[in-house]
Amino acid sequence: MSDDSGVERHGTDAAVVEIDPSAVQLLATADRNGVVETMHHGVAIALGVDGEVVASLGDPSVTIYPRSALKPFQTAAMLSLGLDLPDRLVALATASHAGARLHLDGVVEILSSVGLGLEALGNTPDRPLDPTEREASIVAGRSPSSLQQNCSGKHAAMLVTCRINGWPLDDYLDVEHPLQRAIVTTIDGLGASVRHIGIDGCGAPTHALELGEMAQALRRLALDDSPVLAAMSAYPEMVAGRTLDDTMWMQAVPGLAAKRGANGVMALVRTDGRAAVLKVADGSDLARRVATVEALRHLGVDVDGEHRATTEQMAAPVLGHGAPVGTHRAAPWK
């Protein structure tokens, strides 16, 4: 199904859009006892201060689902529609959170700002993303819930935006809902044409974009002094969690905004407009973590000196009998 803009909305009966294998290149490898065992391919781009391509890998014109790396754009749309939250809750609206108490309490606070309760949330019930929080939830006998699911901050903000604008709440996840149409308009307005709209794991519409255009859209947000990016970098613990690499890099690098997306996506942007986006073709999170270090190197972050300690925390070892026998390594970009 498509609207009058020609954007393909979603549908399982449509032909599958294939990616040309030549569009991807080697992004990372993993060795076991000195022999390369696994190769991860992908696409990546890094932009300089003037918006020029300073490094890339594969074909940046490939269309990807950024998944949760879209959240800065979705939150920017909601702020333009009147959403008014303190910065720490703006960061939470942009989060794929770990499910810690500060995240869950923040979601309740967002909803209660317009008199809504947890029953309004329409995202898919789940347990916390963080393994420790997940285990604690199980031990406490809590059932999976929309509150605990990592996108609950975004969904709470969506509901509040609908209430502010007098829009219906029951169908806020429908691709034809005024909120979802406004999000498409915002993304398009930032220069990243929405190529397709699918349904994300949390139940919200998710938008397919050209990877290179997405990087340029992030750059535009930065140059426009986006309050979303400022909130993310000011409250990195609200965006993810203490063990998640987007939080860790934002804590280490002042002014950096970082947002990971499911199945191997990372989006990065600095206040001066330098931006990078990468996608691991097979969705490997370990490959994404080491490739993120390479992306930051091209954004001028001293990953081998000043921020070496954080880089070392990103190590993705290959285990043999419970001990490290190899590691994941990022391939260089050109």
Predicted local confidence at residue 57, as pLDDT = 98
Per-residue pLDDT reduced to its tens digit, 6-21? 566 655 445 676 778 8
CA dist., res. 88 & res. 261, Å (int): 20
CA dist., res. 81 & res. 87, Å (int): 16
The gap between the terminal CA atoms of the chain, to the nearest Å, is 39
Specify if 8 maps to a domain.
no
> Which structural domain range is residue 259 located in?
23-330
Specify if 30 maps to a domain.
yes
CA dist., res. 279 & res. 276, Å (int): 10
Specify if 17 maps to a domain.
no
Predicted local confidence at residue 1, as pLDDT = 37
Predicted local confidence at residue 6, as pLDDT = 53
Contacts of 276 (CB under 8 A, 6+ apart): 44, 45, 46, 47, 215, 266, 267, 268, 269, 295, 296, 298, 299
Q: Nearest CA to 284 among 225, 241, 321, 330?
A: 330
Per-residue pLDDT reduced to its tens digit, 169-210? 999 999 999 999 999 999 999 999 999 999 999 999 999 999
Torsion of Cα atoms, 310 then 312 then 314 then 316, to 10° = -170
Take residue 237 and report the two structure tokens written for it. 């613990």
- In total, how many domains does the chain have? 1
CA dist., res. 149 & res. 156, Å (int): 12
Specify if 165 maps to a domain.
yes
CA dist., res. 312 & res. 186, Å (int): 37
**Helices 285-298, 245-252: inter-axial angle, 10-degree rounding:** 20
CA dist., res. 304 & res. 310, Å (int): 9
Predicted local confidence at residue 45, as pLDDT = 98
Q: Are 258 and 246 in contact (CB under 8 A)?
A: yes
Specify if 12 maps to a domain.
no
φ/ψ (deg, to 5) at 105: -65, -35
Which CATH number characterizes residue 250's domain? 3.40.710
CA dist., res. 151 & res. 321, Å (int): 36
Predicted local confidence at residue 7, as pLDDT = 65
Predicted local confidence at residue 16, as pLDDT = 74
Torsion of Cα atoms, 276 then 277 then 280 then 283, to 10° = 130
Query: Which of the residues in the chain have pLDDT under 70?
Result: 1-15, 17
3-state secondary structure of 80: helix
Predicted local confidence at residue 264, as pLDDT = 98
Specify if 232 maps to a domain.
yes
> What residues does 205 pair with on adjacent strands?
199
Specify if 96 maps to a domain.
yes
Specify if 326 maps to a domain.
yes
CA dist., res. 104 & res. 132, Å (int): 15
Take residue 241 and report the two structure tokens written for it. 């969690």
Predicted local confidence at residue 18, as pLDDT = 75
Q: Are 205 and 173 in contact (CB under 8 A)?
A: yes
